[in-house]
Chains A and B, each alone.
Chain A
Amino acid sequence: MSDQIFYAKSGMGQKIVGQALVAKDGFSARYDLDRIKGVFSRPEHKLAGENYNGRILILDAAKGGVATAWMLYEMAARKIVPAALVLNAVNPIMVQGAALAGMTLLSGFDADITKSIANGANVEIEPNGDSPFIRVI
């Protein structure tokens, strides 16, 4: 999948390079994570047991409640936090949380981004400019 580039409808944060952690599943910091251990803890989640620290999370849709808006900031302060969030569909909470935490966020693709990028791939995100994108490197 090298040299593949996927343009997003919206982005914020800093340009970043990292390893993708990918699943066709939703995301909520409160519902899905053990934020102390830095792992997905919801047993039904497709990434259950996976460590997310420093990974670029590529997931389907923002889920759950409003707590993520604070939690991303708290996670960033403890430095046990994903490097970036990439979602097919955001809700406002993810945007608000990323804005407070200064986290890179990308969302809205023509194709299902969870099917387009392989788990473990090295990717680059450019969230700024007229055409924010994620690229497999």
Chain B
Amino acid sequence: MRLNEEEKAMLAGEFGPLRQWAMDHQIKVGRYLGAKDMVPVLQAHVMADTESLGKAGVEWLEGWAKLPEKERLVRIPTITDPRGTDFAAANRLKQQSWMVDLERRAIDAFQSLGVLMTDTCINYQTIMPPVRGEHVAYGDTGVVIYSNSVCGARSNFEGGPSALSAGLTGRTPRYGFHLDQHRQATLVVNVNWTPRELNEWGALGAYVGKLAGDYWQVPAVVGIDHSPTSDEMKHFGAAMASFGSIALFHIVGVTPEAPMLTDVASNAASLRTYNVTEADVRGLQASYGGAIDKVDIVVFSAPQLSLVELRQISILLEGRKTQIPTLAITSPQVKPDADRMGITAKIEASGASVLSGMCFYQSYAREMAESNGWKRLATNSAKLTNILGGYGYTPALLSMEKCIDVACDGGRLSK
């Protein structure tokens, strides 16, 4: 890789051992993935819940946090993905003290590095949405796919170590979706039906992600009949990224790089092409939860909820009581607004809980299942259904309205 003088100096250790490690890490990744040089980035977003970090990862961070300030501070705005707990709710969730302690240690280490603890996977709705053409180094696949596709920003999936490296060096290897040629469509998906509910958007995203197949594929979706809302795009993208490891999609006539199909696919006729129907999407949705007639918990999470989603839940719960644990999980930026507007109080009056700063699957989901006896779960998040099977849950994918009905009917799933 070509390095400029400053990058060479970082690699030589002239900016301290942490930036030296970061540059070395970025070069290893860049070489593997064919980067010719580095590209400056303006923001970084670090996924680092402690279930992923583990004790070893936290100790690794703590080692760097002891460096002198000028050697350890990030150079660009660097923010965080959800944490592994909502400290105010840890006891209620029956999370163990060692989990909470590990979270506190990780937070202390990140703060020593100058990282802003935003604890959110919806930073594109709440913190500082990237602008078209802006190069960023984002973690959380849902953040990356939304930023690339809806905002027209440029990021690869940057796992925690790489996003932190970008924060420290102010750059990232120039490969993948930083390059024009990788932003062209590689498959065309014609749809004859436009989803209405968030779970349907998620299910369509999941279906397209499975068709696409791997990270380097870019679907161009044709036939969506109106501009989706930010929340609809959020569920669509998060599910596509989860099911297919996809980082960029285009919706023709909607997303900024694809006013016309020819703008992202000059060779559209030669691309693999699929026709997706409502029945295909409903089939995928029905594949979750078909074997169960009751759930133990209802979860709204993954991605964290917007203020609009929380308000919808509060309206659906008005005058009702939940009979099983029901969690609505949002960001630390949205929660104060929900509190101030009385939305949190309305939701919690039903017996449901509003949590913030965490995300269900990033919060020791297996251990919470064991401690609380949660095995069967209903959610309107296609992404969550895809993840939780490996954690021992049997998930059902339902609409928000249906999830609320199930929560208020003792968890019974009507077929």
Binding between chains A and B: yes
Per-residue interface assignment for chain B, residues 382 to 415, with 1 indicating a CB less than 8 Å from any chain A CB and 0 otherwise: 0000110111100000000000000000000000
12 pairs, A vs B, C-beta closer than 8 Å: A12-B32, A30-B52, A42-B389, A64-B141, A65-B141, A67-B362, A74-B55, A78-B56, A92-B162, A92-B176, A92-B215, A96-B159
B156 sits at the interface (CB 8 A): yes
Given A64-B242, A65-B140, A93-B157, answer yes or no on A70-B57 (Cβ-Cβ < 8 Å): yes
- Interface residue from B29, B160, B387 paired with A92 (Cβ < 8 Å): B29
Instruction: Give Cα A28 to B52, complex, Å.
Output: 12
Tell me whether B386 and A61 are in contact (CB under 8 A): no
Given A66-B139, A66-B141, A92-B162, answer yes or no on A71-B52 (Cβ-Cβ < 8 Å): yes
Most buried by B among A26, A31, A99: A99
B8 sits at the interface (CB 8 A): no
Instruction: Give Cα A61 to B244, complex, Å.
Output: 9
Q: Tell me the residues in window 1-49 of chain B with beta carbons closer than 8 Å to chain A beta carbons.
A: 25, 28-29, 32-33, 47-49
- Interface residue from A34, A63, A91, A99 paired with B25 (Cβ < 8 Å): A99
B253 sits at the interface (CB 8 A): no
Instruction: Give Cα A12 to B31, complex, Å.
Output: 10
Tell me whether A41 and B32 are in contact (CB under 8 A): no
- Min Cβ gap B62→A in Å is 14
- For B, the interface residue count at a CB cutoff of 8 angstroms equals 46
- Which B residues are in CB contact (< 8 Å) with A105? 32
Instruction: Give Cα A95 to B162, complex, Å.
Output: 10
Tell me whether B29 and A99 are in contact (CB under 8 A): yes
Most buried by B among A62, A68, A89, A96: A96
- Min Cβ gap B327→A in Å is 19
Number of residue pairs spanning A and B whose beta carbons lie under 8 angstroms apart = 138
Residues of B whose CB lies within 8 Å of any CB of A are 25, 28-29, 32-33, 47-49, 51-57, 60, 139-141, 156-162, 175-176, 213-216, 241-245, 361-362, 366, 386-387, 389-392
A43 sits at the interface (CB 8 A): yes
Tell me whether B160 and A66 are in contact (CB under 8 A): yes
Residues of A whose CB lies within 8 Å of any CB of B are 10, 12, 26, 30-34, 41-45, 61-71, 73-74, 76-78, 89-93, 95-97, 99-100, 105
By secondary structure, the B interface counts as helix
- Which A residues are in CB contact (< 8 Å) with B243? 63
Tell me whether B390 and A31 are in contact (CB under 8 A): yes
Residue of B nearest to A100 (CB): B161
Residue of B nearest to A69 (CB): B159
- Which B residues are in CB contact (< 8 Å) with A32? 390
Residue of A nearest to B390 (CB): A42
Tell me whether B214 and A33 are in contact (CB under 8 A): no
Identify 8 new A-B residue pairs, CB closer than 8 A, beyond the known A64-B245, A69-B162, A100-B25: A33-B390, A63-B245, A66-B140, A70-B47, A70-B161, A90-B33, A91-B245, A95-B28
Tell me whether A74 and B215 are in contact (CB under 8 A): no
Instruction: Give Cα A93 to B51, complex, Å.
Output: 17
Instruction: Give Cα A107 to B28, complex, Å.
Output: 15
Instruction: Give Cα A64 to B159, complex, Å.
Output: 12
The 6 closest A-B pairs by CB, nearest first: A69-B159, A74-B54, A77-B56, A91-B215, A42-B390, A89-B214
- Interface residue from A10, A12, A31, A78 paired with B386 (Cβ < 8 Å): A31
Given A67-B47, A77-B56, answer yes or no on A92-B390 (Cβ-Cβ < 8 Å): no
Tell me whether B158 and A70 are in contact (CB under 8 A): no
- Min Cβ gap B377→A in Å is 14
Instruction: Give Cα A73 to B51, complex, Å.
Output: 12
- Which A residues are in CB contact (< 8 Å) with B53? 70, 74
Tell me whether A92 and B52 are in contact (CB under 8 A): no
Instruction: Give Cα A43 to B28, complex, Å.
Output: 34
- Which B residues are in CB contact (< 8 Å) with A10? 32-33
Residue of B nearest to A42 (CB): B390
Residue of B nearest to A75 (CB): B54
Instruction: Give Cα A69 to B51, complex, Å.
Output: 12
Tell me whether A96 and B213 are in contact (CB under 8 A): no
